[in-house]
């Protein structure tokens, strides 16, 4: 049986390597490493706009990471969170723009609930295909993401277009707006919703019978049958929750950040979320820190691009290198073994 290694070593090691590579690139481009990292850090935290942007980036990354982690708990890789996010977003945008006569509490709740339901329903398709026919969910969800992408694009450019030149839907009514703070940034109170949802999810999985059943149905279905858990049903429910959270993420972006559905607003956000979850080895408790870290990096990268000669893409590169290194579990073991064997050889010589 595979033993679960101490993942902290691996993450730290990868971080250091990514840091070193980053320093090399920065120096090669003629900038001072400390200055650049300084700007990067201040760019993430210094001042309302910068810190607010970090918080703004945090919410969708965090929620999509949680969405993916939940799906892994039932042993399904829901790459389709991106689709749920897009569809949830446009559902919220439409509800926000066209439903009138509601007070803010109801309007926002309604829009988010619809986003959640749409996101969950979207995840039902790969779920049922996987459970009934054992169709590989990785393939199907990636394909369906494109379907969602084109479909929402059709809706934005077509029936729900705001006809203002920019590819977006009508602006939502004020009653549907989630309030912002730390202006002029786009940090909004959606972060509170995200945090509440997080704790609810944590509670469900650690303290309820329901959560126990879900956790114990994915990984070992024979065992579940043996102890009386309907693992098929539980896995579908797990996927629905995953899609629901994805939809919620999209809804918050629309209601809190943009105020409408803007074509291309999410450039693979859910993929980043998935990668964050993978770095955290899909452990719910480790996701917030990593999501925050990545959000801070992305926010800092904006300042970095403005005040230095280092392009923003450098940060994206380093993030992907970081993930690659974390994924290569084996590397840490190989290096450790190399060091051990070297020591043994030297001791043998004495």
Is 7 a binding residue for other proteins by CB under 8 A? The answer is no
**How far apart are the C-alpha atoms of 100 and 328, rounded to whole Å?**
52
- Residue-wise burial string across 274-283, b where 16 or more C-beta atoms lie within 10 A, e elsewhere: bbbbbbbbbe
Cα angle 161-243-285, degrees, rounded to a multiple of 5: 125
- Kindly indicate which of the ranges 184-192, 242-250, 317-325, 339-347 contains the residues binding other proteins, using the contact rule CB under 8 A: 317-325
Q: Do 229 and 213 meet the contact criterion of CB atoms below 8 Å apart?
A: yes
Concatenating the DSSP letter of every residue in 175-186 gives: GGPPPB-STTS-
Is 78 a binding residue for other proteins by CB under 8 A? The answer is no
Is 334 a binding residue for other proteins by CB under 8 A? The answer is yes
Total count of residues recorded for the chain: 350
Q: How far is the CB of 24 from other proteins (least distance, A)?
A: 13
Q: Which residues, 187 to 246, sit near other proteins by CB under 8 A?
A: 206-210, 212-213, 215-216, 219-220, 222-228
Find, among 138, 92, 134, 143, the residue nearest to 246 by Cα: 92
β-bridge mates for residue 188, sequence order:
180
Concatenating the DSSP letter of every residue in 131-148 gives: HHH---HHHHHHHHHHHH
Q: Do 151 and 144 meet the contact criterion of CB atoms below 8 Å apart?
A: no
Nearer to other proteins, 111 or 279 (CB): 279
Q: How far is the CB of 73 from other proteins (least distance, A)?
A: 10
Is 30 a binding residue for other proteins by CB under 8 A? The answer is no
Nearer to other proteins, 103 or 134 (CB): 134
Nearer to other proteins, 28 or 105 (CB): 28
Site map (CB under 8 A) of other proteins, residues 84-123, x = contact: ----------------------------------------
Q: How far is the CB of 279 from other proteins (least distance, A)?
A: 10
Q: Do 96 and 176 meet the contact criterion of CB atoms below 8 Å apart?
A: yes
Is 314 a binding residue for other proteins by CB under 8 A? The answer is yes
Is 77 a binding residue for other proteins by CB under 8 A? The answer is yes
β-bridge mates for residue 168, sequence order:
262
Is 19 a binding residue for other proteins by CB under 8 A? The answer is no
Three-class secondary structure of residue 36 per DSSP? helix
| Interface residue with other proteins, options 153, 171, 175, 180 (CB under 8 A) | 153
**How far apart are the C-alpha atoms of 48 and 186, rounded to whole Å?**
10
Is 311 a binding residue for other proteins by CB under 8 A? The answer is yes
- Could you list the residues that contact other proteins (CB under 8 A)? 1-4, 29, 77, 129, 133-136, 138-140, 142-144, 146-147, 150-151, 153-154, 157-158, 206-210, 212-213, 215-216, 219-220, 222-228, 268, 271-272, 274-275, 278, 311-317, 319-321, 323-324, 327-331, 334
């Amino acid at each position: 049986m595979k033993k679960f290694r101490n993942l902290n070593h691996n993450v730290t090691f990868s971080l250091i390597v990514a840091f070193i590579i980053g320093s090399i690139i920065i120096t090669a481009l003629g900038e001072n490493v400390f200055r650049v990292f300084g700007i990067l850090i201040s760019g993430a935290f210094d001042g309302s706009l910068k810190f607010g942007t970090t918080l703004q980036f945090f919410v969708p990354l965090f929620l999509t990471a949680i969405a993916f982690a939940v799906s892994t708990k039932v042993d399904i890789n829901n790459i389709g969170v991106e689709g749920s996010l897009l569809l949830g977003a446009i559902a919220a945008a439409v509800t926000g723009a066209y439903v009138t006569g509601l007070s803010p509490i109801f309007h926002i709740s309604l829009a988010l609930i619809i986003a959640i339901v749409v996101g969950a329903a979207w995840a039902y398709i790969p779920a049922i295909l996987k459970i009934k026919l054992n169709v590989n969910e990785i393939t199907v969800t990636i394909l369906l993401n494109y379907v969602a992408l084109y479909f929402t694009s059709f809706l934005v450019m077509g029936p729900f277009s705001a006809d203002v030149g920019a590819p977006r839907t009508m602006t939502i009514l004020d009653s549907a707006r989630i309030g912002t703070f730390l202006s002029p940034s786009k940090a909004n109170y959606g972060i509170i919703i995200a945090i509440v949802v997080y704790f609810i999810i944590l509670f469900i999985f650690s303290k309820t019978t329901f959560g126990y059943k879900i956790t114990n149905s994915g990984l070992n279905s024979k065992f579940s049958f043996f102890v009386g858990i309907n693992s098929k049903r539980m896995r579908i429910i797990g996927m629905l929750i995953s899609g629901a959270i994805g939809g919620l993420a999209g809804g918050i972006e629309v209601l809190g950040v943009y105020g409408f559905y803007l074509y291309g607003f999410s450039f693979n956000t859910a993929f980043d979320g998935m990668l964050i979850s993978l770095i955290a080895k899909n452990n719910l408790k480790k996701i917030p820190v990593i999501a925050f870290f990545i959000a801070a990096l992305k926010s800092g990268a904006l300042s970095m691009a403005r005040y230095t000669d280092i392009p923003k893409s450098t940060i994206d590169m380093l993030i992907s290198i970081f993930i690659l290194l974390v994924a290569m579990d084996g590397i840490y073991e190989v290096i450790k073994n190399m060091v051990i064997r070297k020591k043994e050889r030297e001791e043998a010589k004495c």
